[in-house]
Amino acid sequence: MTHTRTALLLVGSPFGFRSTSSSLGSYLMDRLTETGFTTNKVHIHKSVKSQEGIDELLHLVGISDLVVLTFPLYVDSLPAPVIKTMEIITKHREEAADTRRQKIIAISNSGFPKANQNLVALEVCRCFAQKSGFEWAGGLALGMGPVISRKPLNELGGMVRNVKKALDVTALALSEGRIIPEEATKHMTKSILPRRLYMWMGNRLWKYEAKKNGVIDRIREKPHST
Amino acid sequence: MHAVILDGSERDDSATGMAHQVISDELSRFDWSVESIRLCDLEVADCRGCFGCWTRTPGLCIIDDAGRDIAKSVVQCDLLIFLTPVTFGGYSFTLKKAIDRLIPNVLPFFKKIGGEIHHVPRYDRYARFVGIGVLSEPDAEMKDVFNALVERNAINLYSPAHAAEVVTVGEGIQSVTSSVRRALLKVEAIE
Ligand SMILES: Cc1cc2nc3c(=O)[nH]c(=O)nc-3n(C[C@H](O)[C@H](O)[C@H](O)COP(=O)(O)O)c2cc1C
């Protein structure tokens, strides 16, 4: 009898399944399903709030052959609740002494354009994998994450073709028991938009939002000066 | 001159507690006033990622809890110290909760800093910055990751000077003191 492989998507954005992290992870999960994986999803921020959620998360991690951790870059690192989850998983695995071979990958997306600003956060994920007994199968870094604006990748047209290529290559490699190939990391680091355009759009968007909320005149306020 | 120590250790962590004491003593010897913030004693909510601090209540997090006061202390100090058990090479959850709540202190707009794009500062001046990590056992890789993280944070915190040091649980007080001194000397907080 062949064992059906199970993959778990851990979404580490406060926006849960309506986040860029989830868009990236869900696309990968769909590709993995096509190669025969059974998939589960967990919204980290929601799960770590209750013991029930934590127990469920630990159970799903325990039965998975592959864990896919996706998160937004927060101050050059991972959002706090994701670190908390890593602390909980590590402690649990130390106590449970599970010896099953399980792989983990991580996908980080950032607001700044350059994907390489995510590399320290991916190193943290690699250290977590080591400490908690997972086999590290690599990380993917994406800049300009907000361009995806929490939409399914298939609704975004040619703009995300390299992102999709990266995830297609990754899914194939993982389904064949390989780690994330360099080809995938390269596709993922390609700019989604020209940098200048992204900066221009970003700066306009913040002004638009502040204007909508009636605070454009105060946008540069310094409330903590005194 | 005023220093703020953001301590991300848990109550039973005596090694980080010792490092805290050493930092505080060294700074006091050089006439710094020291504000010790033990984060495990405070309620700090997780950042919701809403960017309300940029587009609704400019410069203020929409969550009114200790996270706001910490952001204020960080703006007003001359030296900011992140003290933490090294957690997978990075900061502990307890410290990171407070750090995620610091983004009100910058503006949403982008600008180039050293060839990379970052945010425009909100304030006219920012503090010097020191990261002190406490490893549970020697680990060269995690030490490198910690140093790299402090390096990157220094850019986003606009620190005019920064330093990182990692000590290991079980190190004696003299060894911890010399690491702390090295970091404080590098940012010219002590002589
Ligand atoms: C508290 C906070 C800190 C952030 N820090 C960074 C950062 O250091 N570098 C960066 O490029 N983007 C940073 N961002 C931007 C997010 O990484 C970006 O908006 C991301 O696309 C959000 O993805 P999500 O939809 O999966 O949550 C930060 C956002 C927040 C709310």
Mean pLDDT along residues A53-75: 97
Please indicate, yes or no, whether residues A58 and A167 belong to a single structural domain of this protein: yes
pLDDT at A81 over 60: yes
Please indicate, yes or no, whether residues A171 and A218 belong to a single structural domain of this protein: no
Please indicate, yes or no, whether residues A209 and A111 belong to a single structural domain of this protein: no
CA distances from residue B121 to A105, A115, A185, B57, B105 in whole angstroms, order as listed = 34, 22, 32, 17, 7
pLDDT at A54 over 90: yes
CATH assignment of the domain containing A41: 3.40.50.360
Label residues B29-55 b or e (16+ Cβ within 10 Å = b).
Answer: eeebebeebbbeeeebebbebebbbbb
pLDDT at B8 over 90: yes
B162/A contact by beta carbon, under 8 A: no
Tell me if A1 is assigned to some domain. no
Say which residue the tokens 């399903």 belong to: A33
Contact (CB, 8 A) for B81 and B130? yes
The residue contributing the CA closest to ligand 1 atom 23 is A72
pLDDT at A99 over 70: no
Contact (CB, 8 A) for A40 and A9? yes
What integer pLDDT is reported at residue A101 of this predicted model? Answer: 85
Contact (CB, 8 A) for B111 and B48? no
Contact (CB, 8 A) for B61 and B101? yes
Please indicate, yes or no, whether residues A134 and A220 belong to a single structural domain of this protein: no
Q: How far apart are CA B167 and CA B134, in angstroms?
A: 5
Please indicate, yes or no, whether residues A85 and A162 belong to a single structural domain of this protein: yes
Which tokens hold the place of B106? Answer: 């910058």
Please indicate, yes or no, whether residues A166 and A223 belong to a single structural domain of this protein: no
Please indicate, yes or no, whether residues A111 and A132 belong to a single structural domain of this protein: yes
Which tokens hold the place of A199? Answer: 């900066």
Please indicate, yes or no, whether residues A186 and A198 belong to a single structural domain of this protein: no
Q: Answer whether A78 sits within 8 Å of B96, measured CB to CB.
A: yes
Contact (CB, 8 A) for B177 and B159? no
Tell me if A10 is assigned to some domain. yes
pLDDT per residue over A153-192, tens digit each? 999 999 999 999 999 999 999 999 999 999 999 999 999 9
Give A38's strand partners.
A6
**Confidence class for position A95, pLDDT limits 50, 70, 90:** confident
B163: exposed, middle or buried (C-beta count within 10 Å: 0-12, 13-18, 19+)? Answer: buried
Mean pLDDT along residues A52-61: 97
Long-range contact list for B59-67, CB < 8 A, 24+ apart?
A: B59/A221, B59/A222, B59/A223, B59/A224, B59/B104, B59/B105, B59/B122, B60/A223, B60/B104, B61/B101, B61/B104, B63/B101, B66/B42, B67/B97, B67/B98, B67/B101
pLDDT per residue over B147-178, tens digit each? 999 999 999 999 999 999 999 999 999 999 99
Residue of A nearest to B115 (CA): A114
What integer pLDDT is reported at residue A1 of this predicted model? Answer: 45
What integer pLDDT is reported at residue A2 of this predicted model? Answer: 55
Output the average pLDDT for chain A. Answer: 95
Q: How far apart are CA A131 and CA B87, in angstroms?
A: 10
Contact (CB, 8 A) for A75 and A121? no
> B113: which residues sit within 8 A by CB, 6+ positions away?
B155
AA identity, residue B68? R
What integer pLDDT is reported at residue A205 of this predicted model? Answer: 95
- DSSP 3-state assignment of B43? coil
Which tokens hold the place of A225? Answer: 């000066």
Mean pLDDT along residues A60-68: 97
Residue of B nearest to A204 (CA): B109
**Confidence class for position A98, pLDDT limits 50, 70, 90:** low
Strand (E) or helix (H) holding A66 = strand A66-72
Which chain A residues touch B156 with a CB distance below 8 Å? 75-76
Please indicate, yes or no, whether residues A134 and A210 belong to a single structural domain of this protein: no
Q: Is B35 in the pocket of ligand 1 (CB under 6 A)?
A: no
Q: How far apart are CA A71 and CA A106, in angstroms?
A: 8
Count of domains observed in chain A:
2
pLDDT at B187 over 70: yes
> A139: which residues sit within 8 A by CB, 6+ positions away?
A105, A106, A107, A108, A118, A122, A125, A126, A180, A185
pLDDT per residue over B90-110, tens digit each? 999 999 999 999 999 999 999
**Confidence class for position A90, pLDDT limits 50, 70, 90:** very high
Our CA-based measurement puts residue B76 at a distance from the nearest CA of chain A, in whole angstroms, of: 7
What integer pLDDT is reported at residue B116 of this predicted model? Answer: 85
- Phi and psi torsions of A114, nearest 5°: -80, 125
pLDDT per residue over A5-34, tens digit each? 999 999 999 999 999 999 999 999 999 999
Give B79's strand partners.
B3, B128
Output the average pLDDT for chain B. Answer: 97
pLDDT at A148 over 80: yes
Which chain A residues touch B123 with a CB distance below 8 Å? 222, 224-225
Contact (CB, 8 A) for B160 and B128? yes
ipTM > 0.85 for the complex: yes
Q: Which domain holds residue A200?
A: 194-226
Where along chain B do its domains lie? 2-186
Tell me if A207 is assigned to some domain. yes
Tell me if A151 is assigned to some domain. yes
pLDDT per residue over B49-65, tens digit each? 999 999 999 999 999 99
Mean pLDDT along residues A65-93: 97
Please indicate, yes or no, whether residues A45 and A109 belong to a single structural domain of this protein: yes
Please indicate, yes or no, whether residues A12 and A117 belong to a single structural domain of this protein: yes
Which chain B residues touch A128 with a CB distance below 8 Å? 88
Check whether domain B2-186 has CATH 3.40.50.970, yes or no: no
- 3-class DSSP string for B147-167: HHHHHHHHHHCCCCCEEEEEE
What separation in Å is there between the alpha carbon of B49 and the centre of ligand 1? 8
Q: How far apart are CA B189 and CA B130, in angstroms?
A: 10
Please indicate, yes or no, whether residues A155 and A210 belong to a single structural domain of this protein: no
